[in-house]
Chains A and B, each alone.
Chain A
Amino acid sequence: MSMFVKFLVAAVGSGTPLLFGTLGEIVNEKAGHLNLGVEGMMSLGACAGFMVGYVSDNFLLALLAAFAAGALGGLLYAVLTVTFMADQNVTGLTLTIFGIGLSNFIGIYMLGRSETGSLKLPETITRQMRNIHIPKLSDLPVVGELLFSYNPFVYLGIALAILLAFYFKRTKTGLNVRAIGENPGAAAAAGIPVTKWKYLHLLLGGGICGIGGAYCVMIINGGVWISNSVGGLGWIAVALVIFATWSPAKALFGSLVFGALRVLKYYNFFKLDIPIAIYDMLPFLVTALVLVLTSIRQSREKAQPASCGVNYFREER
Chain B
Amino acid sequence: MSDTNTERPAIACKGITKVFGTVVANDSVDLQVKYGEILALLGENGSGKTTLMNMLSGIYHPDGGQILIDGKEVVISSPIDADALGIGMIHQHFKLVEVQSAMENIVLGTKGKLPKTKQLRRDILAISEKFGLEINPDQKIYEMSVSEKQTVEILKVLYRGARILILDEPTAVLTPQETQKLFAILRKMREEGAAVIIITHKLNEVMEISDRVTILRKGKSIDTVITKETSPQKLTELMVGHEVTLEIRRPEYEDPSDLLHVFHLKVDKPDGSAGLKDVNFVLKRGEILGVAGVAGSGQKELCESIAGLIPVKEGAILYEKKDLKGKTPNEIINMGIHMSFVPEDRLGMGLVASMGMVDNMLLKSYKNTKGPFVRRKPARKMAKELVKKLDIKTPSVDMPVRMMSGGNVQKVLLGREIESRPNVLITAYPVRGLDINSSYTIYDLLNQQKQKGVAVMFIGEDLDVLLALSDRIMVLCHGEVTGIVDAKQATKEQIGLMMAGAGEREVMGHE
Residues of chain A having any CB pair with chain B under 8 Å: 170-172, 175-176, 178-179, 182-183, 185-193, 300-301, 303, 306, 314-315, 317
Query: Within the assembled complex, what's the spacing in Å between the Cα atoms of A193 and B108?
Result: 11
In this complex, what residue of B is CB-closest to A193? B80
Task: Known A191-B78, A300-B140, A317-B403; judge A176-B99 contact (CB<8 A).
Answer: no
Q: How far is the CB of A95 from chain B (nearest CB, A)?
A: 26
A-B contact pairs, 17 of them (CB 8 A): A172-B107, A175-B104, A175-B114, A178-B97, A179-B104, A179-B105, A179-B109, A183-B97, A186-B94, A189-B89, A189-B95, A190-B79, A190-B95, A190-B108, A191-B110, A192-B108, A300-B98
In-complex Cβ contact of A175 among B57, B78, B80, B108 (8 A):
B108
Q: Is B253 an interface residue (CB 8 A)?
A: no
* B80 cross-chain contacts in A, Cβ below 8 A: 191, 193
Decide: A172 and B83 in contact? CB cutoff 8 A: no
Closest to B106 in A: A190
A-facing mask of B66-108, CB < 8 A → 1, else 0? 0000000000001110110000010100111111100011011
Do B57 and A189 touch across chains, with their CB atoms under 8 A apart? yes
Contact B97 A172 (CB under 8 A): no
Least Cβ–Cβ distance between A304 and chain B, in angstroms: 11
Distance of A303 Cα from B99 Cα, bound (Å): 9
**Residue-wise interface mask of B (381-423) relative to A, using a CB-CB cutoff of 8 A (1 in contact, 0 not):** 0000000000000000000001100000000000000000000
- Is the Cβ of B100 less than 8 Å from the Cβ of A189? no
List 13 extra interface pairs beyond A170-B114, A186-B94, A187-B109, CB under 8 A.
Answer: A171-B114, A172-B107, A178-B97, A179-B97, A183-B95, A183-B96, A189-B59, A189-B91, A190-B79, A191-B78, A193-B80, A317-B402, A317-B403
A191 touches B79 (CB 8 A): yes
Complex interface: chain B residues within 8 A of A301 (CB): 99, 140
Report yes or no: B97 in contact with A187, Cβ–Cβ below 8 A. yes
CB distance from A317 to the nearest CB of B (A): 6
The 4 closest A-B pairs by CB, nearest first: A190-B109, A186-B95, A191-B109, A189-B95
Question: How far is B141's CA from A168's CA once the two chains are assembled, in angstroms?
Answer: 19
Interface string of B307-329 (1 = CB under 8 A from A): 00000000000000000000000
**In the bound complex, what is the Cα–Cα distance between A175 and B104 (angstroms)?**
8
Q: How far is the CA of A84 from the CA of B448 in the complex (A)?
A: 49
Residue B266 at the chain A interface, CB threshold 8 Å:
no
Secondary structure of the A contact surface, majority rule:
helix
B139-150 Cβ-contact flags toward A at 8 Å (1 or 0): 010100000000
Which residues of the other chain, B, contact A188 by a CB distance below 8 angstroms? 59, 78-79
Q: How far is the CA of A190 from the CA of B105 in the complex (A)?
A: 9
Q: Which residues of B contact A189 (CB under 8 A)?
A: 57, 59, 79, 89, 91, 95
CA distance A43 to B78 in the complex (A): 38
Q: Is the CB of A176 within 8 A of B98?
A: no
Known A190-B109, A192-B108, A317-B403: A306·B114 in contact at CB below 8 Å: no
B366 within 8 A of A: no
A residues within 8 A CB of B95?
183, 185-186, 189-190
Bound-complex Cα distance A193 to B20 (A): 23
- Count of chain B residues with a beta carbon within 8 Å of a chain A beta carbon: 32
B109 closest partner in A (C-beta): A190
* Complexed CA–CA distance, A191 and B78 (Å): 7
Q: A191-B79, A191-B109 are in contact. Are A179 and B59 (CB under 8 A)?
A: no
**A183 adjacent to B98 (CB under 8 Å):** yes
In the bound assembly, the distance between CA atoms of A183 and B94 in angstroms comes to: 11
Q: Indicate whether B284 reaches chain A with its CB closer than 8 angstroms.
A: no
Contact of A179 among B57, B89, B91, B100 (CB under 8 A): B100
A303–B110 CA distance with the chains assembled, in angstroms: 26
| CB-CB contacts below 8 Å: B6-60 with A | 20, 57, 59-60
Query: Whole-angstrom distance from the CB of A196 to the nearest CB of chain B?
Result: 11
Query: In the complex, which residues 125-182 of chain B have their Cβ closer than 8 Å to any Cβ of chain A?
Result: 140, 142, 156
- How close is B216's CB to chain A, nearest CB, in angstroms? 18
- B510 on the interface (CB 8 Å rule)? no
Chain A residue with minimal CB distance to B400?
A: A317
Q: Which residues of A contact B20 (CB under 8 A)?
A: 315
Contacts of B89 in A (CB 8 A): 189
The reply to whether the CB of B113 lies closer than 8 angstroms to some CB of chain A is: yes
A182-B59 in contact given A171-B114, A172-B113, A193-B80 (Cβ < 8 Å): no
How near does chain A come to B48, taking the closest CB pair, in angstroms? 13
Q: What chain A residues lie within 8 Å of B113 (beta carbons)?
A: 172
What separation, in Å, do the CA atoms of A99 and B431 have in the docked complex?
A: 54
A6 and B114 alpha carbons, distance in the complex (Å) = 44
Contact yes or no, B98 A306, CB < 8 A = yes
- Return chain A residues, CB-CB under 8 Å to B79: 188-191
Residues of B within 8 A of A303 (CB): 99
CA distance A290 to B403 in the complex (A): 39
Complex contact A187–B108 (CB within 8 A): yes
Residue of A nearest to B402 (CB): A317
Q: How far is the CA of A220 from the CA of B55 in the complex (A)?
A: 56
Contacts of A170 in B (CB 8 A): 114
In the complex, what distance in Å separates the CA atom of A44 from the CA atom of B59? 38
B100 touches A182 (CB 8 A): yes
What residue in chain B is nearest A305 (Cβ atoms)?
Answer: B99
Contact with A along B278-302 (1 / 0, CB 8 A): 0000000000000000000000000
Residues of A contacting B94 in the complex (Cβ-Cβ under 8 angstroms): 186
B97 close to A315 (CB less than 8 A) = no
CA distance A303 to B20 in the complex (A): 35
B16 to chain A, nearest CB (A): 16
Q: Which of A186, A301, A315 has the most CB of B within 10 A?
A: A186
